[in-house]
Structure formats: C-alpha cells, structure tokens
Structure 1
Amino acid sequence: MERKITIEEHDLYQEDYQIRMLKANSLDGILKVGARGMNGSSYYDYDVSGKVSMKAMYERSKISGEDLKLFLTQFKAVIKEVEAYLLNIHCILLKPEYIFYEESRFFFCYYPLAAQDLWEEFHTLTEYFVRQGDYEDQECIRLVFLLHKATMEENYSLEKIMAECLKRPEKDEKVDTVEEIEEMEYDTKEHDWITEQEMGSSIMKETENLWTPVRRFLNKHKKPKWGDWDGLHIEEEEL
C-alpha cells in the first residue's frame, strides 16, 4: 500500500518548471512528488512507502558517528543532483520529519514553495544532532561539535565542513575532552532551550544552554584520573 505525506499551502496552485522537471525526471535521493490544486490551496504529495522519517528513527535510538557520515555523504550528493537539474537547493527540506530513511539511504523532500536558506536550515539540523547524538561514540562527539561550531560562522562553507567531517581522522587525533568542551563559548541567546509551562496564572520559564545536557552526560561517563577516586587509601609499609 502506498504511503504519502502531504504539505499544504494556502495559495493557488501554479505548476512551474520545478514541478515539470521533478515529474519528468527521477532525481537520486529526492522523494517522488506529485502536486495538485484544490479549493484555492496547493498540495504536494511525497511518496514515503517503506521509509521512516529521521525524527521517528532517532526517537528510538541515538545518532552514531557512522550515521552522521552516511547522512553527510548522501546530502552532499543530493545537493549536486539538484544543481545538475538546475533546481534550487534552498528548496531541500532539512527538518527531521521531512528526511526519510530506507535500507542505508536517506531521502529528501524538494518543496518548490520553500522560503528558507539552506545554510540556516542545516545549522538548525546540527542542533538536532547535538540533542540526539550518541555520546558514548567518540566519532559522533567529534562530528557534532565540529558541525555545530563550524555552522555558527557567518557565510560558512558547507563543502569545506563536509570535507572536514568526512576525512579520516589521524591516528593521534583525539576527541575534545570534557574540560575543553566546557570551555567552548556559544551564543546562549540563540542556542538556549526555553521551556514554558503554565502553572495556574503564572508561566515558568527554564532556560538551559544547548550543551548543558551534553556536558552532564560526558562528566558522568568520563574516566576518572589517577588520584580522583573517592575513598582511595594507600597504606605505607612500616619500615
């Protein structure tokens, strides 16, 4: 049975060259899409048969370093594929609920009416990677910190970041220690988590830095240094 997701836009449907290009060709890594107009609105239907969204997949598990490398490799290929057909790369949706996975392959929605910037959307996706990363996986730690920090730079190069992530680490290259992670500075205004909970007539706001849960996890699981163990007693031999 065919399974679809639909994006609705409350605007009159107009078929442009993008839809004609998508209908006439099968782009590798791009979900098949059908477009239609009805009752003054536009509908874009994506075939997701046999696939699971990134959001659903990582609600049950954590993102590993290998997962990230696979995603980056295929995302890079999709960008080139979209450009090869003279389509707009900023129409590639990067929210986890619009990225799908099946048999070691990621698939993306191309939404012709998207009004977004791909670089900003990718940075937002790296924040999702930070929250869902497997921090028992050293390669995952290396990648999420590299991705998130690098995409905070103005006018960053997506191609250079991907190349850095996908290169094979040197044997003596080490992952940032907990202490080094804690020294990293981030824009707390942009990256704070804000939780609003209504309690009677008052609203409680809790703001926590994006990296705080990560630091807590790493501190909890870091290996103790010599001399850091509580209750360690060394008896001196009487001479």
Structure 2
Amino acid sequence: MKDYMLEPNYLMLSEKYIFEKNENYFFCFFPENEKTWQVSYHELTEYFVRKVDYQDLESIQLVCMLHKETLKETYDLESILQQYEEEAKNREEKSKEEKIREESKREKDRREMEENQNIEVQENSYYNKARENYAVMEEKRYGPIKKFAKRFKSGKWGEWEDLITEADDYE
C-alpha cells in the first residue's frame, strides 16, 4: 500500500474480497469504501472467530487475541502479533516443563507401585508361613439355627392349646 501510496481505509477487508493464489493473498481496493480499516479488520476477525477450526488450539488463541484487541478503539497489528508470539513461546516453555513434571511424576508413581507390590509379596509370604501357627475361631452366630435344630429333633414346636386357627371362628 505504501509503494503505491494507497489509503488503507479503502481496502476491502471482507472474506468476500480476499483471494488467494499460490499462497499469495490479494485484496480489493475500493475508493468509495465508507469503513475505516480498523472497523473492517474487526469484522474480518469476527469472521475468523466463526470459521476457526476449534480442534486447533493455536489458531483459537490467535483468533481470540486478534478479535479481543480489535475491540479497542486504537490498536497496532504489529504489537498484537509480537505479543502473541511472546505468549506462544511462554506456552511452549510451560508445556515442556509440564511434560517433564508429568514424566517425573509417572516415574515416581511407577517406583511407588513397584515398592508396594514388593511389600505385598513380602507380607503375603509372611502370612502364608504364619497361617499354620494360628488357630482361627469364628464368632457364635448360629443361636437361632441351633434352637430350630433342637425343636426339629425333639418334635416340640410349642403349646398347641394356645393355637388359634381360622376354623375356630366357625364353630
């Protein structure tokens, strides 16, 4: 735009007027455009927000940052992109640190699990040897069963004179 001394406000920044050929982008220039380039660019970022691939975390972060910054009255695209690049580097460093922490935690958990398994094996072998020496005594829970067995053997189930049946009402 500077080479041809063109006014940036006349640039059509709409998805309909941006073309791509061989990885080169072409824009339409319309001298009677009524929008400023800031407003046009903000509308373009709104389009990006609608069309972004939500599976790609990096593109989501870039589009959201651009859209948020274009909501301001004045903004500088170069500073926005520099800020994004710095944040991307910070995120990359943090992700590397997190991966290292996760790997060390997994290694620690694996060691603890192996130690626990070794302790369990040792405990089980001790109890297997020691079981021969201990007598196991159960609690007496068979009281009602024992009563039933005595009545069944003796044939006595209670006093029959006190038994009231439905037939007694009809006599």
Bigger proportion of residues as strand: 1
Determine which structure has greater relative contact order: mean sequence separation of CA pairs < 8 Å that are 6+ residues apart, divided by chain length: 1
Bigger proportion of residues as helix: 2
TM-score, structure 2 normalization = 0.50
